[in-house]
Amino acid sequence: MSELDALMKAFGESGGDSSILADKEVAHFVVSGHSILSMQSVEGLEVKAKETLTGISASIRVRKGIKVQNPVHLCFGILHKKGNQKIKMDVRLEKNASAHFIAHCIFPKAEKVKHIMDAVVDIGEDAEMRYSETHYHGVYGGIEVIPRAIVKIAKNGRYFTDFTLITGRVGKLGIDYSVEAGENAVTELTAKVFGHANDDIKIKEEVLLQGENARGLIKTRVAIEDEARAEITGITEGNAAGARGHVDCMEIVKDKATAKAIPIVNVRNPLAKVTHEAAIGSVDKKQIETLMAHGLTPEEAVDVIVKGILR
């Protein structure tokens, strides 16, 4: 079996649809370790990538006014027990362009694996980008995931990102996103993570509302059990008139797990407004009792509640 077939098999086993690679109307970019296995552009969307001495360097550009109809699939994985993957990604959406990227990150056997993503994203005026990243990890926990992104959104631009890691062990996670929003720009950063055993979760997300009437939301949902640890830092700065930001962090803690939430709110313009809410605790007793009154066992009730907040 080729490496591409093996990766697609793992992708299929984790719930993905591997037939997307055969579809000429769907752009994709598939990387295993430091090898580019497949890539495809569509009209108006250009994917360029090369293997370097230190990893993969890729650039994706969506041309002015182009609305990419089908989601662009990015597939990153390491199928071996050990390995490194370092990807440098440069994404640019030109004026009035739009695209939805779906990233599948597959590390089913990781015992000593490191995945680093360094992305620079430039969203042009009136452009919109959606980026959904879902991780499929194995049960061993020997993985380190470090996604870093610096995003700049021009006037009236929109950027929405959704990071999900709820399948398998997290291992060690260090998200570091920084988003700068211009005039009337809108951004929403959502992260959902479920940590087990001795998983170590660090999420730092920053939204700088630089332009007038810029809007930003950081929403984080983390559930941890056993001896897992989580530290969530949500930073929002309101630096222009009419800017509105909100940080919303919820962490559910079970067993001996420990959680920390650090909402940082800075307002440098009297006409800006930034709010935050953070809740850390065990599963709400009244929620459990309500579900138990429907006939669910306490374990089933907790499962329903945790899955709900991570959905």
Partner 1 sequence: MPLLEIKNLTYTAGDKIILDEFSLSIESSEVHALLGTNGTGKSTLAYVIMGCEGYKPASGEILFNGKTIDELKIHERAQLGITMAWQEPVRFEGINVRNYLALKSKETDPSMYLEMVGLHPELYLHRMVDKSLSGGERKRIELASILALHPKLALLDEPDSGIDMLSTQDIINVINVFKKNGSSVLLITHREEISLIADRASQMCKGKIVCSGNPEKVAEYYKSRKCLVCDGEVCAYV
Q: In the complex, which residues of this chain contact partner 1 (CB under 8 A)?
A: 221, 250, 284-287, 289-298, 301, 304-305, 307-311
CB of 133 to partner 1, least distance (A): 19
Q: How far is the CB of 179 from partner 1 (least distance, A)?
A: 24
148 in Cβ contact with 173 (< 8 Å): no
Among 237, 285, 239, 277, CA closest to 261: 277
Decide: 129 and 153 in contact? Cβ < 8 Å: no
Nearest-approach distance from CB 304 to partner 1, in angstroms: 7
Q: Which is nearer to partner 1, 262 or 292 (CB)?
A: 292
CB-nearer residue toward partner 1: 165 or 235: 165
Residue closer to partner 1 by CB (options 278, 296) is 296
Q: How far is the CB of 23 from partner 1 (least distance, A)?
A: 29
Cα distance between the two ends of the chain: 34
- CB of 15 or CB of 298, closer to partner 1: 298
SS3 91: strand
Strands 82-93 and 112-123, bridge-based pairing: parallel
| Least gap, CB of 301 to partner 1 (angstroms) | 8
**CB-CB contact of 235 with 205 (8 Å):** yes
Residue nearer to partner 1 on the CB measure, 150 or 304: 304
Q: Give least dist CB 292 to partner 1, A.
A: 4
Within the chain, residue ranges assigned H as helices are: 3-13, 285-292, 298-310
**Cβ contact 226:196 at 8 Å:** yes
Which residue, 19 or 297, is less far from partner 1 as judged by CB?
297
Rounded Cα–Cα distance for residues 216 and 206 (Å) = 10
